[in-house]
Each structure stands twice: as C-alpha cells, then as structure tokens.
C-alpha cells in the first residue's frame, strides 16, 4: 500500500508538470483529509530499497497464479509508474540541456535510496545515471555524504555490468568524497536524495495534525505472557523504536524468539570507518549543509539544477543565476 501511495502521488506530479500546478500543494491538500493522511504523498523519483518492488511484484505473481489477471496488472502498474517517473525525469534533464549531453558534466547529489542512510540497494539514482549515461556525457559525478565512495563505485559497476566506466581519468562516472570537487565545472546538478545537507529550505508541514502515538496506553503485559499473537508483536515495534523504559522489564528479553542480527563481513567499510576514525557509520562526506553559493560559483554557465526530491528553494537559487527544474512543477527558470 505504501508503494501504491508513492506511485499515486508521482502520477499526479506528471500531470502537475504539464498543467502548471504544484504537486506539493496538491499533496498537502489531499493529505489534509483525515481518511487519507499526508504520509508518503511527496513526489520524487519513486521508491527504492530491497522491499517495495519485490513485494509488489510478488503480490502480482500471486494474483496471476490464482487467475486474477486484472488484479495482477493493477499491481504491476504500481511498479511501471515507478519506472516511468525516472524515465520522465531523465528526459526532462536532456530536454533542458538542449537535447544533448555530449561534452557536458552532470553532478548527482545523493545516491542512497533513502535520505541520511548509506543503503544503496535499488537506488533510484542508479536508474537515472544509467539512462543519462546513454546520452554520452563527458562526466557523471556522484556525491553522497552518507555513502562510502567505494561502495557506490562497486554498485554502479555492477548495475552497468562494466566496472571500467567507474573511476577517474577517461571513465565517464566518477564518485567523489568532496561535494565541491564533484560540482566543479558542472553543467547541471541533480538532487536525487533528500539528504539534510542538500536542503536550502525548510519542509512544509502537512495540513493534517500528526497522529498521536499511544505510548501511555501500551500494555507491558504483552511482553511477558505466553503465545503472543502477530498483532502483539507488531504493537511492540513502536516501543522498541522509542527505547521506552518498559523494555528493561526485569532485564529480560520480551521477545526471546527474535534472532540476533548477523555480524558484518570482516572487511565491512562501515565498521572499518568506525574503528579507524571513530565517526558515525555512513559519514563519508560533508556533515554540514552544503554552501550553494560555492557550488553555483564553480558551475559552468548556463547553470542548471534539477530537484528530484522537492527540497530546493528555486527563488533562492535564482539569485545565484541557477535555473531550477523541480519534479512535480513547471520550471522556475
């Protein structure tokens, strides 16, 4: 259902781009209806990660296997809309750059599929990179403040099935550990992950009030009695995230059936970073917000910025002589 909501708002974003409406305003208006809510109603490049696509396609396969072809096709369209969103975004980049990327440098800010994490599984950025690489740009630069550059290089090489395209020198895809080096002489900056460091505006709150979490009504007894139901276990999930004091109930594991998390590989780059530098796992780039003045100064005119996550203030960037295209709305140039 979450994947369905993501694809639904992205389908609306396509209409907004053609009609001049703002998908952010549409999402907030729709989310103000208590029956719908505002969660997962922000347009972007679609869902990534290891779960959504796999689970939706599994549901479609199940529907097919029991003879429900119409139901299967319905769920396959959720994934198809996800792919179409990235196709449209890629075509928009090419169109704005005079329908050719030959001899041009593009810089991607963000690679992980989810903001402020180092998880690169099923990254939407990788899909856009693959599509734009076919247009033969001079260079595609990638920077993500939370990802190990070595992990990104390996992932890109696997997706393109050609590790030789990733590196430096004559290689068209270069992964940087410094955001300003990545943006040096770039014709276009493309924001594909909503990392906090990339924001130059505060997100608008949803019109509907947030749903209250029922911490005070939590039944501690559910932890200790025998034969917990599936719903009992799901209800326990919230307090685990909150680190509630009730979890230390007599020092016992409330759910002894849960297996321990498997250990990392010996050469895990995240663990190695913690051992060597004492830094937080995933912290491989700028810890502070990027300086958009410095980025704009380093870019090649005409300067373009493509916001695939709706986190950039177009008016502020216009002051820096940067043309902005935001997903789900018409150009602000």
State the DSSP H helix or E strand holding residue 140, giving kind and residue range, or none if neither: strand 139-143
Distance separating the N- and C-terminal Cα atoms of the chain:
36
Distant-in-sequence, close-in-space partners of 295: CB < 8 Å, separation ≥ 6: 179, 180, 183, 189
DSSP 262: P
Q: What is the DSSP string of 81-110?
A: HHHHHHHHHHHHHHHHTTT--BT-EEEEE-
- The answer to whether the beta carbons of residues 186 and 103 sit under 8 Å apart is no
Cis peptide before 122 (omega within 30 of 0): no
Q: In what side-by-side order are the strands of the sheet with 322-326?
A: 173-175, 139-143, 105-109, 188-191, 303-307, 322-326
Among 51, 171, 268, 271, the active-site one is: 51
Whether 271 is a known active-site residue: answer no
Rounded to 10 degrees, what is the CA torsion of 13, 14, 17, 22?
-20
- With both helix axes pointing from N to C terminus, report the angle between 23-31 and 2-19 in degrees, rounded to the nearest 10: 130
- The answer to whether the beta carbons of residues 144 and 153 sit under 8 Å apart is no
- The answer to whether the beta carbons of residues 29 and 36 sit under 8 Å apart is no
Catalytic residue set: 51
């Amino acid at each position: 259902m979450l994947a369905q909501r993501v694809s639904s708002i992205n389908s609306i974003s396509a209409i907004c781009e053609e009609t001049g409406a703002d998908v952010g305003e549409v999402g907030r208006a729709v989310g103000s209806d208590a029956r719908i809510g505002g969660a997962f109603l922000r347009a972007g490049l679609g869902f990534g990660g290891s779960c959504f696509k796999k689970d939706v396609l599994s549901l479609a396969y199940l529907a097919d296997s029991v003879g429900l072809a119409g139901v299967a096709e319905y769920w396959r369209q959720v994934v198809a809309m996800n792919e179409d969103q990235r196709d449209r975004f890629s075509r928009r980049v090419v169109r704005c750059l005079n329908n050719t990327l030959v001899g041009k440098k593009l810089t991607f800010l963000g690679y992980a599929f989810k903001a402020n994490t180092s998880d690169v599984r099923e990254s939407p950025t990788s899909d856009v990179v693959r599509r734009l690489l076919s247009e033969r740009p001079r260079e595609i630069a990638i920077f993500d403040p939370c990802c190990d550059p070595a992990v990104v290089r390996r992932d890109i090489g696997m997706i393109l099935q050609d590790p030789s395209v990733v590196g430096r020198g004559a290689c068209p895809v270069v992964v940087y550990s410094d955001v300003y080096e990545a943006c040096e002489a770039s014709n276009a900056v493309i924001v594909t992950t909503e990392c906090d460091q990339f924001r130059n505006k505060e997100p608008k709150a949803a019109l509907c009030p947030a749903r209250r979490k029922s911490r005070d009504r939590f039944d501690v007894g559910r932890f200790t009695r025998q034969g917990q139901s599936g719903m009992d276990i799901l209800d326990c999930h919230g307090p685990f995230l909150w680190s509630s004091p009730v979890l230390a109930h007599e020092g016992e594991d409330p759910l002894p059936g849960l297996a321990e998390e498997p250990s990392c590989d010996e050469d895990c780059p995240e663990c190695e970073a913690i051992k060597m530098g004492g830094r937080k796992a995933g912290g491989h780039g700028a810890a502070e917000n990027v300086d958009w003045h410095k980025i704009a100064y380093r870019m090649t005119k005409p300067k373009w910025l493509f916001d695939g996550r709706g986190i950039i203030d177009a008016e502020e960037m216009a002051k820096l002589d940067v043309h902005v295209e935001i997903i789900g709305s018409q150009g602000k140039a």
